[in-house]
Structure 1
Amino acid sequence: MPEIAARQGGALIGVVMGLIDKLFGAPRPSPTAPLYAAIIANGRQPHWFLDGAVPDTIDGRFDMIAAILALVLLRLEDDPSSAGPVAQLTEQFIDDMDGQLRESGIGDVGIGKNVGQMMSMLGGRLGAYREALASDDLAPALRRNLYRGNDPGADAVAHVSAQLLALRDRLAGQESAAILAGQIG
């Protein structure tokens, strides 16, 4: 009996220490941090905003990152062993958006609502891009989701469409482990 109590006490100490580390210790890097950093870096490339005429605004940058994140998530959902990392990547996106909203001055009361809206927007984009990729015609989905109904011109839409389709093809040719390591370029 004392052995069981000692094991349970040891487990409890481990849980308490983990909680203390989480609250007061240095944040632990997410296993999907390299992939998330690669998604952000890809979404910030100037060609999206110059050649692709994506609005260089908070909304435009969000929409571009959401488009790339959607392509990565769609690729990883094909691999059942990536379910955990997909959840972590989505959590990392939520945490990042939460931090971005706080930096922009939105208070605690509005954070939950705004993050909820962003998650809903990401979910909508996943569906829209999934359908568009199946037909190899991203233009309607891009006009609706990336450009939010504004017409940037055929050349801009063609540029973004070609670049996203090329990204889809690169992701399809890679092992999930390489993608999770941030190799999406």
Structure 2
Amino acid sequence: MIWNLFKRNKANQALVESQYERITQSARSPVFYAEMGAPDTVMGRFEMISIHLVLYLRRTGTANEAAQGIAQEIVDAFFEDIDHSMRELGVGDTSVPKRMKKFARMFYGRAKSYGLALAEGDRDALVEALRRNLHPDQPDNAPSMQALSEWMIETARNLEAVSEETLAAGQLAFPETH
């Protein structure tokens, strides 16, 4: 991933790296895995980064052009990171494009379902989407996603107050989790 970032617009490179690092660091917070029901697996990490990225994109979607440009570069970095991770895990070069399409569909499907639930304030729909996505193999025995849902709702609300300048500077920070 890091080598591909050097190909970016030099002016945005540091901002993109910094913001993407903030997103991934927050997504790695142990509380999501120990207390909020996210599985501590490769796919669980994908899900948590996706959730953070969805919240970030939700905020930058109403921001100025500079912030939206950085947001697009962060999405690109996310998919480059997935590509790199798959290759490190031993996925063959011929299989990567097909799997990347699958991950893109997964991500954008989550963005749509989470975004709609957040926009409508539909807590039940958000809980159900989280259960379906984070625990697809446990439809009846999945852990409650209530705490994660509440965190997402509160975080989305808090991110609305983040200034345009903070977004354009790649300085958006997610609230601490405890």
Normalising by the residue count of structure 2, what TM-score does the alignment of the two structures yield?
A: 0.80
CA distance in structure 2 between the aligned counterparts of 1:146 and 1:153, rounded to whole angstroms: 9
1:173 CA displacement? 0.9
CA distance in structure 1 between the aligned counterparts of 2:88 and 2:165, rounded to whole angstroms: 33
Partner of 1:164: 152
CA distance in structure 1 between the aligned counterparts of 2:165 and 2:173, rounded to whole angstroms: 9
Partner of 2:62: 78
What are the ranges of 5 or more consecutive residues in structure 2 without an aligned counterpart? 1-5
1:172 CA displacement? 0.7
Question: 1:124-167: per-residue Cα shift (whole Å, max 9, x none)?
Answer: 0110011110232121211122332634333xx11111111121
CA contact (8 A) 1:39 1:68 kept: yes
> 125, 128, 131: which is aligned to 1:140?
128
CA distance in structure 2 between the aligned counterparts of 1:118 and 1:95, rounded to whole angstroms: 11
> 24, 34, 50: which is aligned to 1:50?
34
Q: Which residue identity does 1:181 align to in structure 2?
A: Q
- Cα distance change on mapping 1:144 and 1:65 into 2, 3 Å: same
2:11 is the alignment partner of 1:62:
no
What are the ranges of 5 or more consecutive residues in structure 1 without an aligned counterpart? 1-20, 23-27
Partner of 1:184: 174
CA distance in structure 2 between the aligned counterparts of 1:164 and 1:178, rounded to whole angstroms: 20
CA contact (8 A) 1:52 1:159 kept: yes
Q: Which has the larger radius of gyration?
A: 1
CA distance in structure 1 between the aligned counterparts of 2:61 and 2:88, rounded to whole angstroms: 31
CA contact (8 A) 1:30 1:88 kept: no
2:138 is the alignment partner of 1:153:
no
CA contact (8 A) 1:70 1:126 kept: yes
Question: C-alpha root-mean-square deviation of aligned residues, in Å?
Answer: 1.9
Question: 1:48-94: per-residue Cα shift (whole Å, max 9, x none)?
Answer: 11111211111111011111111111111112423311210111011
Normalising by the residue count of structure 1, what TM-score does the alignment of the two structures yield?
A: 0.78
CA contact (8 A) 2:18 2:171 kept: yes
CA distance in structure 2 between the aligned counterparts of 1:161 and 1:52, rounded to whole angstroms: 9
Higher helix share: 1
The percent identity for this pair of structures is 27
Aligned length: 158
Q: Which residue identity does 1:37 align to in structure 2?
A: E
